A and B are shown apart, each in its own frame.
Chain A
Amino acid sequence: MTVYALPSVSGTGLLYGFTAAASLLSALVLVLLVVVAERRRRKRARVRSLLASLESGLVPQPPSRAAARSIVLELADRLDRDTLRLHLPWCDAVEADARSDLRSSRWVRRTRGLRMLSVLGLSQEVLLPALADPHPRVRAAAACSALCCPTPAVCDDLVTLLSDPSPVVRFAALDTLSRLGEAMLPSLRDHLFAQRPLDLPPPGLDSHPGVPPSPGYAPSRLGPSPLDPPRGAAETWLVAPGTRAVLLPGAESSGLTHTLPRLLRTSRLPDDATRTVLLLLTAAGFAARPDETLLDLVAGLGADARPQVRAEALRATRMLLGSSPPPPRSRERVLSGLSDVDGAVRAAALGAAECLGPLALAPAALALSDRDHAVRAAAARLLASGGALGRLHLEAALDGSDRFAAAAARTALSESEERPLPLLSAPLPGSERPR
């Protein structure tokens, strides 16, 4: 029997063709790789050579536009704007290119232009249209660049960008606003006042229209995650870490005290502790002096069964008091907080204990040996702000057998050397002192 080998001509041809095409493509890709690598190498070499010329005091010939931009960006971190212009004669050309890029139809060019102008000098007239650019990447770049041009009009637009549909824009606006700090508060306040806050209590509750709303400050850990920036400043109470602002329309202290329980019920904030402290801290924002009614309310929360509420109440006490002497009930709460079973409460109590004056130093010295890391850190910070006596306790801890206490003391001492130690200014209980 003869077996015929069946040739698969079409299949074979296809396969050989495929192989040939793959080999050719591979070769082309390799050539392309070499070309790209070589171009990059030359570009890097050009920039390095230009930088070397500048560092040796020579003024090199005007390079290509791309090299000029690279040089400007490279030196922007080391030199201020005026020095940069002095040493780089082609800055004007780069700036002109950047302004021209802003008019480009390609968003990459507009972003590039903004980046260059943020280094060379950015004006409101350039920034405001960029903040309204149709492409989100350009708006985000403009929001980042706004840090060097924080005029009221720019801040207004930044606050508006918190409602931008693009998350990259909202993040950039949030980042810039948080860096601007108090400079942005007037814009934020006006924006909140113009909006219709969604968390207003229902009609019928007491309020005092006519008293302008005021912003208050809340610590960064309260509120939504930075991964979920708020959609719109009026949609939520919190705006940015460190400068969170809350609107409580028309509330004087007495009105706030009266409406506070109802506000607590109607607020849509995440949990009781957050709601409580946030609203109380808001009161601190517009309380011109420590309000005993509010302090009393906060002290009452210091006996709550939930450790997070107790801790927040102690932090609110600190915010409300500042360095003023505490009323008796608040003092009692702070002292009892120092021996609370929960570490976070003890740490918060140590933070608030600054108001106790020299009485706080001995418990703080003991707290250096606390088993909780946050408590040790808070104790060390309190001692560091406690003048010569506090420093003595810290130095004693350095030589002690407790390595954790020694480490906390060392950290606090080194941080305090970077800043002048404030004098222990809190008076003894019973004495009056303006805030």
Chain B
Amino acid sequence: MTLPFDLSFLFPAVRAFDTFALLYLLVVGVAQFLLVAAGAFELARHRRATRHVSRQRLLSSPVLPLVSVVAPAYGEEATIVESVTSLLTLRYPRLEVVVVVDGSPDATLERLVAHFELERSEESWRAVLPSAAVVGVWRSPHHPDLVVVDKLNGGKADALNVGLCLAGGELVCAIDADTLVEPDALVRMVTPFVEREGTVAAGGTIRVVNGSTVRSGRVVEQRTPRSFLSGVQSVEYLRAFLFGRLGWNLLGGNLIISGAFGLFRREDLLAAGGYLHGSVGEDMEIVARLRANSADGLPSRVEFVPDPVAWTEVPSTLRVLGRQRDRWHRGLAQTLWAHRRAIGNPRFGVLGVVVYPYFVLVELLAPVVEVLGLLGVLLGLSVGAVSTSFAVAFFCASFGLALLLSVLGVFLDGVGSLRPVPLRETLWLLLWALLEPFGYRQLTVFWRLRGLVGACRGRSEWGAMVRSGFAAPVPAPDLPASRL
């Protein structure tokens, strides 16, 4: 190849960067494999420990702690009734449901009032945490365990804090109002608190409800989404939960409890000052704050329990999905920055030496390295510093790694699942896993990069999340005639 100008001065830089990208890929690959192995080991250990435990016995235990499920609601009129219904019918002996309507402009409160026949109630409670003004407290004569709080808009963290103050339980389950929880999820989530000392928080698996059949607030038929966008997100969720968080269990380094479904000790949350206002990643931020107690020798264990399942609706449009991923990455950046003193700090043990560096290098900076790596390879190709075969091999290796991780996630899901998963649904998952690297992955890199830039600029808005409700599943395309 002959060029009219001399670009040989770029070769060392390009080669050095490509080598760096190669090494980064290998390091990430090794780290992910270690997490997978840890996740598989932890799953096996969990199944061994719970195989001979009687759930029925636990469900009737008089010594289980009272759990308050706190569900902030904003713009949830399409799904709020089903969500609250599913919460009220959870199989847990001592339960309280606190729904906090955070100044929702739509008919969220009206739907609740109409369906549950709520009436205003005079309540006295201690405002331990500052929050936006509470307009009123509502109760239902038919559901004494249900409390609905109407307040001025203050954000999700503000709503959670109000719920924390009003809640009477020793454990608080922070949940998104559009999340559907499996009936016995709570009793499984409580297990780490009663079995291990020092547990301050526990999280469970979140699955994608898009495409599944929901009736009366319960997922009666689990189906893999048939649309590309929802389908690839379901694969992503499996990867993130089943070996991302499960793997960290073994290493003692869980740093995230999903805001859609997490269980916390109320007194620890109150002592930590509740959720942080103005944070777009309040779920990660509060867990990071709770885990920071480890430096002072205080209880700080955060567990992930693979059994309990909650279902959530994922964005089905690019615009809404982009906003969500942007916000998540901004939240990640903000939290890591706020707790930067823990990064590499041996005082925090595994958290400081392993977990935080991993989140910085692999989770936070991954989009930067991916984009620069892509640009580096393209530049290298254009100037002749990199051979075509190397570029092809590089992309194949990236694709292969992503595919393997997705397949392992599907495997752990299939093996660890409590209910049988039809083979057809597994095949759909594998299809989305195959297609994920073509377009979707690049989009998420772009959104995450945008989120990182936004975090550097101090952006803190949430953006509007549009829900379509659970009532009707997304129509599925016809499958091939052969029965699978």
Interface positions of A (Cβ within 8 A of B): 1-8, 11-12, 14-16, 18-23, 25-26, 29-30, 32-34, 36-37, 40-41, 44, 77, 108, 111-112, 114-115, 137, 141, 144, 167-168, 171, 174-175, 178-179, 220, 225-227, 229, 240-242, 343, 371-373, 377, 403-404, 406-408
Q: Which of B5, B7, B63 has the most CB of A within 10 A?
A: B63
Inter-chain contact A15/B408, CB cutoff 8 Å = no
Which of B141, B384, B394 touches A6 (beta carbons < 8 Å)? B384
Known: A6-B15, A403-B119. Is A12-B389 also a contact (CB below 8 A)?
Answer: yes
**A12, A32, A108 interface centre (most CB from chain B within 10 Å):** A12
Set of chain B residues within 8 Å of A30, measured between Cβ atoms: 407, 411, 430
With both beta carbons as reference points, the residue of chain B lying nearest to A25 in the complex is identified as B404
Stretch of B151-159, B190-198, B212-220 that contacts chain A? B190-198
Q: Is the CB of A26 within 8 A of B420?
A: no
Contact between B63 and A174, CB atoms less than 8 A apart: yes
- The reply to whether A407 and B141 form a contact with Cβ atoms under 8 Å apart is yes
- Chain A residues within 8 Å of B56, by CB: 77
Contact across chains for A3 and B144 when beta carbons are under 8 A apart = no
Interchain CB contact under 8 A, A22 and B144 = no
Q: List 22 A-B contacts (CB under 8 A).
A: A1-B2, A7-B387, A15-B396, A18-B26, A22-B397, A22-B403, A26-B400, A37-B426, A40-B420, A77-B56, A108-B52, A112-B51, A167-B194, A171-B195, A178-B62, A225-B170, A227-B170, A242-B62, A372-B122, A404-B119, A404-B121, A407-B142
Q: Is the CB of A240 within 8 A of B52?
A: no
A22 to B29, CA, bound (A): 10
Distance of A6 Cα from B2 Cα, bound (Å): 14
Report yes or no: B64 in contact with A32, Cβ–Cβ below 8 A: no
B442 within 8 A of A: no
Q: In the complex where A29-B407, A37-B414 touch, is A112 in contact with B52 (Cβ < 8 A)?
A: yes
Q: Mark B1-27, 1 if CB is under 8 A from A, else 0.
A: 111011110010001001100100010
Chain B interface (Cβ < 8 Å from any Cβ of A): 1-3, 5-8, 11, 15, 18-19, 22, 26, 29, 48-49, 51-54, 56-57, 61-65, 117, 119, 121-122, 124, 139, 141-142, 144, 170-171, 193-197, 265, 383-390, 393-394, 396-397, 399-401, 403-404, 407-408, 410-411, 414-415, 420-421, 423, 426, 430
Q: Is the CB of A226 within 8 A of B400?
A: no
Residues of B within 8 A of A242 (CB): 62
Give Cα A59–Cα B451 distance, bound, in whole angstroms.
65
- Residues in B with CB closer than 8 Å to A174 are 63
Q: Given A8-B387, A171-B195, answer yes or no on A226-B2 (Cβ-Cβ < 8 Å).
A: no
CB pair B57 A29 closer than 8 Å: no
- CB-defined contacts of B393 to chain A, threshold 8 Å: 11-12, 15-16, 19
Report the Cα distance A174→B195, complex, angstroms.
12
Contacts of B61 in A (CB 8 A): 175
What is the minimal beta-carbon distance from A81 to any residue of chain B, in angstroms?
Answer: 16
For A178, the closest partner residue in chain B by CB is: B62
Quick check: A403 and B415 within 8 Å, CB to CB?
no
- A7, A34, A229, A407: residue with the most chain B Cβ atoms closer than 10 Å: A407
Q: Which residues of B contact A40 (CB under 8 A)?
A: 420
Contact A23 B170, CB 8 Å, known A5-B387, A30-B407, A33-B426: no
Contacts of B52 in A (CB 8 A): 108, 111-112, 114-115, 141
In the bound assembly, the distance between CA atoms of A240 and B64 in angstroms comes to 11
Residues of the B chain whose Cβ atoms lie less than 8 Å from the Cβ of A36:
414-415
Which residue of A has the minimal Cβ distance to B383? A3
Whether B407 contacts A6 by the Cβ 8 Å rule is no
Which A residues touch B385, using CB under 8 A? Answer: 5-6
B171 to chain A: which residues have CB within 8 Å? 227
A residues within 8 A CB of B19? 11
Question: Is there contact, CB below 8 Å, between A240 and B63?
Answer: yes
CA distance A179 to B64 in the complex (A): 12
Chain A nearest CB, measured from B60 CB (Å): 9
**Taking A1-B3, A5-B386, A16-B396 as contacts, is the C-beta distance between A37 and B423 under 8 angstroms?**
yes
Which residues on the A side are within 8 Å of B399 (C-beta)? 19
- CB pair B414–A33 under 8 Å, yes or no, is yes
Distance in Å: Cβ of B158 to nearest Cβ of chain A: 25
Contacts of B15 in A (CB 8 A): 6, 8
A404 and B144 CA atoms in complex are apart in Å by 10
Chain A residues, Cβ within 8 Å of B397: 15-16, 18-19, 22
Whole-angstrom distance between the alpha carbons of A8 and B265 in the complex?
Answer: 54
Report yes or no: B389 in contact with A26, Cβ–Cβ below 8 A: no
Of the candidates B22, B29, B62, which one forms a contact with A179 in the assembled complex, judged by CB atoms under 8 Å apart?
A: B62
Q: Is the CB of B390 within 8 A of A167?
A: no
Q: Are B2 and A144 in contact (CB under 8 A)?
A: no
- How long is the Cα–Cα vector from A241 to B65 in the complex, in angstroms? 11
Of chain B, the residue at the smallest CB distance from A32 is B411
Q: Within 8 Å CB of A403, what residues of B?
A: 117, 119, 141
B404 touches A5 (CB 8 A): no
Q: How far is the CA of A227 from the CA of B170 in the complex (A)?
A: 8
CB pair A167 B195 closer than 8 Å: yes
State in angstroms the CA–CA spacing of A115 and B61 once bound together: 17
Taking the closest CB of chain B, its distance from the CB of A27, in whole angstroms, is 9
Task: Kindly state the separation between the CA atoms of A29 and B387 in the bound complex, as whole angstroms.
Answer: 33
Q: Are A11 and B430 in contact (CB under 8 A)?
A: no
Known: A29-B411, A404-B119. Contact between A19 and B383, CB under 8 A? no
Specify the chain A residue showing the minimal Cβ separation from B94: A226
Residue of A nearest to B387 (CB): A7
**Chain B residue contacts of A171, Cβ below 8 A:** 63, 194-195
Known contacts A40-B420, A171-B194; is-contact A22 B411 (Cβ 8 Å): no
A241 engages B122 (CB within 8 Å): no
Report the Cα distance A19→B394, complex, angstroms: 9
Chain B residues within 8 Å of A373, by CB: 121, 139, 144
Which residue in A26, A108, A220 is a CB contact (below 8 Å) of B48? A108
